[in-house]
Homo-oligomer: A and B are copies of this chain.
Amino acid sequence: MSDIPKKVHIREEGPREGFQIEPGPISTADKIALIDALSDTGVDHIQTVSFVNPKAVPGWADADAVVRGMKKKDGVEYTALWFNEQGLQRALAHQDKLHVTGALIGSASDVFCRKNLNRSIAEHTEVMRKQAASLVANAVPIRRVGVMAAFGCNYSGEVSVQQALEAAETGMSIAREAGARIEEITLADSMGWCTPARTERLVGAFRERWPEVELILHLHDTRGMGVASAHAALRMGVTSFDSTVAGLGGCPFAGRPGATGNIASEELVLLCHEMGIETGVDLEALIEVGRMAERLVGHPLPSTLLRSGSYQT
């Protein structure tokens, strides 16, 4: 039990994940209100918006306006997502509010890479090289490597630990060539294959390979194993998790309609607090924001804890 950490970082991705996939329309003011409400819950990281082509993701056509409108609270790190040079430039224009660092995100499954990014792993590796060059040219530090489909793939089946390690190695090697020092690796369960056993295998192998790098788990609850997998990871001392309030979001390319996406932040917080792990988050406040998220999107969200409420009697 001694590996259980004292403090865990909840990386809240509800706004970015949720508003990209919700059929909407959701007003700019409502998006800002959700981010501001999250800022008051005690989470120390919020991924706010996606700077993507409005034609591809209409839900984020107002990304610039959302960042302009949201309040920046001390002690909270606000980030954004982008995929190309244009998106990077939009993010850089908001450095007064956004923490802009670079990440090199690859895929452990070639089929998922094609479905999600419309290119093979080999083609995507070349794209990552260009991304790294662009980040260097813009003086943006490259700090993170990510592995999509690290736990398994709905299109091609099992993904081996070796495939996940290789995907990360590709990113690490491009980062090295670019003179960057990678501090974090995100293992993304893009299609909800995580289980406690898979989590233990992956975390163990990545720890052994890169003992100095912090692991971030991006777990999905698609098959009901998200919280149990987080439990396994916490027992191994993992201290950073992506999650979304109310379970907002889900991957549009996962190939399983109706499947839920990210683990719910409030369930992760309850799990941690019950294990005696600090998160800095006010659980009751976070549940209230989850209810607000349900009102904004206009339908029930996947979080189970949201329906039942916490232990308050």
Binding site for B on A (CB under 8 A): 152-158, 192-193, 195-198, 221-225, 227-228, 230-232, 256, 258-260, 264, 267, 270-271, 274-276, 302-305, 307-311, 313
Q: How many Å lie between the Cα of A152 and that of B311 in the bound state?
A: 8
Q: Contact: A227 with B224, CB < 8 Å? A: yes
Smallest CB gap from A313: residue in B: B157
**One of B197, B227, B310 near A228 (C-beta < 8 A):** B227
Q: Contact: A223 with B267, CB < 8 Å? A: yes
- What's the number of copies of this chain in the assembled complex? 2
Q: Contact: B197 with A260, CB < 8 Å? A: no
The 10 closest A-B pairs by CB, nearest first: A224-B304, A195-B274, A224-B267, A228-B228, A197-B274, A228-B231, A259-B308, A227-B228, A222-B308, A157-B313
Q: Which DSSP category, helix, strand, loop or mixed, fits chain A's interface?
A: loop
Q: Contact: B313 with A154, CB < 8 Å? A: yes
Extra pairs beyond A196-B231, A222-B308 (12, CB < 8 Å): A153-B313, A158-B311, A195-B270, A196-B274, A197-B276, A223-B310, A224-B227, A224-B264, A224-B304, A259-B308, A260-B307, A302-B304
Q: Contact: B156 with A223, CB < 8 Å? A: no
Write out the residue numbers on chain B whose beta carbons fall within 8 Å of the beta carbon of A231.
196, 228, 231-232
Q: How many Å lie between the Cα of A12 and that of B154 in the bound state?
A: 28
Smallest CB gap from A310: residue in B: B223
Instruction: Please indicate which of the listed interface residues A197, A256, A276, A302 has the most CB atoms of chain B within 10 Å of its own CB.
Output: A197
Closest CB in chain B relative to A272 CB, distance in Å: 10
Also in contact, A196 and B311, with CB within 8 A (given A231-B228, A260-B304, A305-B224)? no
Closest CB in chain B relative to A15 CB, distance in Å: 21
Write out the residue numbers on chain B whose beta carbons fall within 8 Å of the beta carbon of A264.
224
Q: How many Å lie between the Cα of A274 and that of B202 in the bound state?
A: 14
Q: Contact: B309 with A256, CB < 8 Å? A: yes
Closest CB in chain B relative to A116 CB, distance in Å: 16
Q: Contact: B305 with A197, CB < 8 Å? A: no
Instruction: Please indicate which of the listed interface residues A228, A259, A260, A274 has the most CB atoms of chain B within 10 Å of its own CB.
Output: A228
Closest CB in chain B relative to A231 CB, distance in Å: 4
Q: How many Å lie between the Cα of A304 and that of B308 in the bound state?
A: 16
Q: Contact: B271 with A311, CB < 8 Å? A: no
